[in-house]
Structures are given as C-alpha cells and as structure tokens.
Structure 1
Amino acid sequence: MATGTSDFLPRLIRHKPARKYTLEEYLRKEGSSVHKHEYINGEIIKMPNARYNHNLIAMNVAVEMTNVIEEAEKNYQVLGSDQKIYLPNLDESVYADTLAICEKPLFWDDDDLLLINPILVVEVLSKSTQRYDRTSKFDKYKTLESFKEYVMIRQNECYAEVWFRERPGLWHETIVTNIEGKLPLQSLGIEVSMKRIYKNVNFVV
C-alpha cells in the first residue's frame, strides 16, 4: 500500500505547539477559573494543588510577618497567595505564597490585579515546584527593580533559606535550621520566629 502525506498527520497533530495567549486573554480566563494559573511565555500554566503543610506554613509566615511589622511600627504590607505578580520585562504573571511591599502597592493595570513592586517574596517548597522555585522563578523575580529578598521554606523539615540582595548582582545567602532560631528579613528590618513559622506543622518524611 502506498504511503501518503496524510498517514503522518496524526503524528503532526500530537506535536502541535501550545497556543499562545495575550495577557488580556489570560486575565479574562483567570478571572473565571476555579484554579490558579501562571502566565508564562504566552502560555497559561495550571498551578499544582498545595498540600496542608504548604498552606499552613504560608499562612503562618504571613501572620508572623504582619505581627512583627506592626509591633515594630514599620510601613510594610504583607499579602498572601492570591496576589498576582507581574513581570513587565518578561510579560509574565506569577503567584507567590507570601510577599511584602514597602509603603504602597504599584500595579501594571488599572484593576489592581498585577502587582509590580514586591520587596520580599516567600515560596514554600514542594517536590513538584522546588526546582522551579530555586532557579527559573528566582530569576524571574530578579527582573523586578523592587525585589530585594527571597525566602524559600521547606514544608517537611525545619529549613529556611534567605537570599538578600546586597547590591545589584550580589546576593547573600542565610540558612536557618534551628526551630528555636530567628529568620532574618533584612529588607524589612525584622526577624521572624522559626517556631511560629512551623506552628502546628507535623513533619512528614
């Protein structure tokens, strides 16, 4: 039997490139979606479901940061995981687990959706996202002029890693593994308790 071009069409269809969306299309879809998605390189990428420890740690961090900031009477605001962060240099939008801004938020759009001035970002690491959080996502945040500090927290052991930008291109690393220790957040001029970050968390190996 002769082999025609049509015999190869199913194979070609399986390798069809992903559709590219505009930022406006992404925002419309995200506004009506029950799941959260990031907007990366024109594609809409569904975020993985977060487990209990992940959600609890993210909430603990946000609460502890807010309490310490208020006690110190500092002018910072803390936001949770529903806030979109827009990266103008990349035309991409991502979510963080927790973030802080200095004084007042700045937005790319007129609907207060796309924040562009986080000073500090916190990511709770999981098996499915830790490689992305440590590499590509960190590099994305670095494109923001306001971004000065990156915190990565493991959810199944007492471990927090902080990267602070001392000057452009120079980042200083601090690792805290003592549950009785304090996590230094130099961009905010505060320290937060590791014990409070891991409050009610049961480590699972």
Structure 2
Amino acid sequence: MLTLKKKYSLTEYFEREILAETRNEYIDGEIVEMTGGTPTHNTLVVNLLSILHISLPDPYRVFVTDQRLWIPAQRIATYPDVMVIAEPFSYQEGRKDTLVNPVLIAEVLSPSTANYDRSGKFAAFRTIPSFQEYLLIAQDRIYVEHFYKEGDRWIFAAYERDETISLQSVDLAIATTAIYKRVNFELEASASEQ
C-alpha cells in the first residue's frame, strides 16, 4: 500500500475521494491507496456476496468493495470486501454514502494486507458497537478464519475443505466449497510465477 505522508482532514479526504480514480482508505489523517484485486480475490468476493444476498432475509443487506465504512472511534474510513448490515442503516454524520453499523465483515486476504486485516483493522472493527462477526478468507488455499462475538469475548474457529461455517450474527451456514467455487489455485499460482 502506498501511503501519502501529508495529514488530511476528513473533509479533505472526502473531497479527494469523490474525484479519485482509485479507492483510498483514511486512517486518522493519512490517505492510503488501496491496491487492486486478483481474479481469485474477485471470485471469492462474488461467491460470498452471492451466497449472502440470496440467503439472508430482511432486514439484512449485503455490500461489497465500493461501500465505505466509517469507524469513528479510530477515525478510519475503509472499504471492506463484504459487509452485512441490518436495516435501518446508520450513516456517518452529515453523509449518505458512508455507513457505520455493520454486523458482519469479510476480508479476502492478500500478502500485502493480511497482517493488517488480522490485527490493526480487526482491532478497529471491534470498536464498532454493532459488529459481531469477522471472516478472513485465504486466496492461496481453502482456509477461512472465523471470529464471532459471544458476550464480551471473541471466539475463533478455522475452516478448511468440505467444512461448514456457522455464521452466528445472521444465523446462516455456508460451505467452504461454496465460497471457493470456481477458484483454481493452480491457475493463479502459474500466473503469479510469470
């Protein structure tokens, strides 16, 4: 990720973001350019989006990579890969394009962001009162890290091939094979070697 060193106000960030050709995160005054995804990354996002969109009843809505999330306690504006929000939506004060009340967030891991997604970003997400569940989806193999809130504690589970993830916040079971449908690890590995 490329970090622009100047400190920006939130107003300046929103002004720049409206005109930007790329998506950028805002992290307490710094603007961080987000990298593009791979075909595998996009396939995993589409698969999870499709499953959630078809399966979740009202009042849940599913959002993907272009929907901005504001984390007020950390002063972070970010674009999760997949977010589930229960209606009614809550917006950042003064905005109609930035949500603040996700129930579930999923991120597809990439080598450049995996550590941040597991640590700093997850810590920031946990400051959101509505946030209950987090999925981290590997791109290089069938492996999903699942965190869910039980009372005041976060519980961890990991899932591999031919296992079923029981989402607690939205009462839904998802097979790992469905998340990884049409993902060809050999094809992706050979493309990255070229």
Q: Which residue of 1 aligns with 2:171?
A: 189
Q: Which residue of 2 aligns with 1:75?
A: 59
CA distance in 2, matches of 1:111, 1:91: 15
Q: Which residue of 2 aligns with 1:84?
A: 68
Q: Which residue of 1 aligns with 2:100?
A: 116
TM-score normalised to structure 2 length: 0.90
Q: Which residue of 2 aligns with 1:26?
A: 13
Q: Which residue of 2 aligns with 1:53?
A: 40
Per-residue deviation, 1:113: 1.6
Per-residue deviation, 1:75: 2.3
Q: How many residues align?
A: 184
AA aligned to 1:84 is R
Indicate the percent of aligned positions where both proteins have the same amino acid.
33
RMSD (CA atoms):
1.4
Listed as ranges, the gaps of 5+ residues in structure 2 are 190-194
Per-residue deviation, 1:148: 0.6
CA distance in 2, matches of 1:86, 1:129: 19
What stretches of structure 1 move > 4 A for 4+ residues in a row? none
Q: 1:56-104 CA distances to partner (integer Å, 9 max, x unpaired)?
A: 10111011111121xxx34211111111110111222111000101122
AA aligned to 2:144 is A
Query: Counterparts of 1:39-188 in structure 2 under 5 Å?
Result: 39-69=26-56, 73-168=57-152, 170-178=153-161, 180-188=162-170
AA aligned to 1:47 is M
CA distance in 2, matches of 1:161, 1:100: 17
Secondary structure at 2:74 match in 1: coil
Listed as ranges, the gaps of 5+ residues in structure 1 are 1-16
AA aligned to 1:54 is H
Per-residue deviation, 1:109: 3.3
CA distance in 1, matches of 2:33, 2:71: 18
TM-score normalised to structure 1 length: 0.86
Secondary structure at 2:117 match in 1: helix
AA aligned to 1:195 is T
Per-residue deviation, 1:194: 1.5
Question: Which structure has the greater CA radius of gyration?
Answer: 1
Secondary structure at 1:38 match in 2: strand
CA distance in 2, matches of 1:164, 1:28: 35
CA distance in 2, matches of 1:103, 1:84: 16
